[in-house]
Structure 1
Amino acid sequence: MIRSLNEALRRIPVPLVWLAGAIPFALLLWDTLTGGLGVEPIREIEHRLGRTALYFLVASIGVTPLLRLTGISLMRFRRALGVLCFAYAVPHVLAWVVMDMGLLWGQMARDIVKRPYLLFGMLSFVLLLPLALSSNDWSIRSLGGKAWRNLHKAVYVAAPLAALHWLWAVKVNEPAPLFWLVAILSLLGLRLVVRRRLNLQTLFRGSKKQA
């Protein structure tokens, strides 16, 4: 069954993932043009862009645990998921910088220092920036596979920071950001468990050969 599913997934063209990834932006644009953003349109734009970025970020870091635990491979879509995350993170930040803060750089700097959720968000964005810029074959060849993989481990710091940004930003007891923070920490925990298991298996095989 898993083999059949993976064969079906391999037949899905990657551009289709990009097309599906544009749907949330199209819906946001439609609501913006038709007045469907509620009484605080700027905040709604910021929040929807930020939430969508986080969803794609979680999807991208969930690809490897899914493969290790179930055998289902979405690896060929992982790059698209990661870049889609950044594609929503950029307008999320721009909406805050331009529409919310009106390009008042001094006020922005003071707010980032004063409000932890802004600091978490900016740190996450800064960590994601080099990952998005290097998500291409040329960067892999230029940096070398090992250096490229080490660079992209920054996503495991950026993801919980992004979830903390959302959790700290809400002013009411909203369960969604806590759920996503727990989901991210669970995925990172699974990654560590699987990696440790693989290391132990490798060590065990090596000791058997020596014996």
Structure 2
Amino acid sequence: MEAILGGGMLRSWPRWLQSKALWFVVCLYPLARATYLVLAGDLVNPIEFITRSSGTWTLVFLLLSLAITPLRRITGWSGWQQYRRMLGLYAFFYVVLHLTTYIWLDQFFDWGAIWRDVVKRPFITVGFAAFVLLIPLAITSTNAMMRKLKRRWGLLHQLVYPIAILGVTHYWWLVKKDLTQAMIYAAILFVLLTWRLVKRFGAAKS
């Protein structure tokens, strides 16, 4: 199974291709692309583009971080594990960019209007809830916090599951017409969560 799914092939990749530094730079591509398009003046509504793009990439990185454990188990290559924390922190980075763009460039720090949006617009409510829940995960992402919290660290970081559900819900409710992309993200999340449930119940029975 491992050979079929590429575990051996992945281990044989050149070291530079497995480098975290390389993938750290690659993960900055969405930001670099958005910056280029804004500076080039090719966008009709740059604020809307940055808001939507950063929100989309938040969800992408969140789902990628959730995919690490299944990839490790399926391929048998433990090297996937080294990328999980980085992907999670990039999800937090892009959600901060997403929220900052909305608060600063869209609402101009009009806290009254922002609060009304959070209360009255369901997609903003669930999106804001997801952001709040991500904060303790980002704060406790260091090795020092992992050692300090011990078992509680694992329990705390299980918040990533409701966060992902809230993130997909936020995206689904935001997109009013073409739901294709939202359905793809929802399907990916469903597969990732179902895989975990099957593994957990299978382990409990054995």
TM-score by length of 1: 0.89
- Give the Cα separation in 2 of the matches to 1:151 and 1:167: 26
Corresponding residue SS for 2:12: helix
- The question of 1:179 aligning with 2:184 is answered yes
In structure 2, give the amino acid aligned to 1:190: W
Contact kept? 1:121, 1:162, Cα under 8 Å: yes
Number of residues paired by the alignment? 199
- Cα 1:70–1:197, aligned 2, differ >3 Å: closer, same or farther? farther
Task: Find the aligned partners of 1:14 and 1:94 in 2 and give their Cα distance.
Answer: 27
1:170 aligns with 2:175: yes
Task: Read off the aligned partner of 2:62 and give its amino acid letter.
Answer: L
- Report the CA distance between 1:46 and its aligned residue: 0.3
Work out the CA distance in 2 between the residues paired with 1:139 and 1:5: 34
- Please tell me whether the aligned partners of residues 55 and 94 of structure 2 are also in contact (alpha carbons under 8 angstroms): yes
**Highest Rg: 1 or 2?**
1
Task: Please identify runs of 4+ aligned residues in structure 1 that moved more than 3 A.
Answer: 8-11
After superposition, the Cα gap between the structure-2 partners of 1:8 and 1:77, relative to the gap in structure 1 and judged at 3 Å, is farther
Partner of 1:81: 87
* Match in the other structure for 2:33: 27
The 2-side partners of 1:10 and 1:86 are apart by: 29
Structure 2 counterpart of 1:200, which letter? K
> Which of 139, 154, 159 matches 2:145?
139
User: For 1:112 and 1:32, how far apart are their aligned partners in 2?
Assistant: 27
What one-letter code is carried by the residue in structure 2 that aligns with 1:25? L
2:8 to 4, 8, 13: 4
Which of 81, 90, 99 pairs up with 1:93?
99
**What runs of 5+ residues in structure 2 fail to find an aligned partner?**
none
Distance in 2 between residues matched to 1:8 and 1:160, nearest whole Å: 35
Among 65, 68, 72, the alignment partner of 1:63 is: 68
* Alpha carbons 2:8, 2:77 under 8 Å: kept: no
Contact 1:53 1:84 in 2 (8 A): yes
Q: Which amino acid aligns with 2:21?
A: P
For residues 43 and 185 of structure 1, the distance between their equivalents in structure 2, rounded to whole angstroms, comes to 28
SS at match of 1:154: helix
AA in 1 matched with 2:85: R
How much has 1:171 moved relative to structure 2?
2.5
How many Å apart are 1:36 and its aligned residue?
2.2
Per-residue deviation, 1:23: 1.1
Give the TM-score of the pair, scaled to structure 2.
0.91
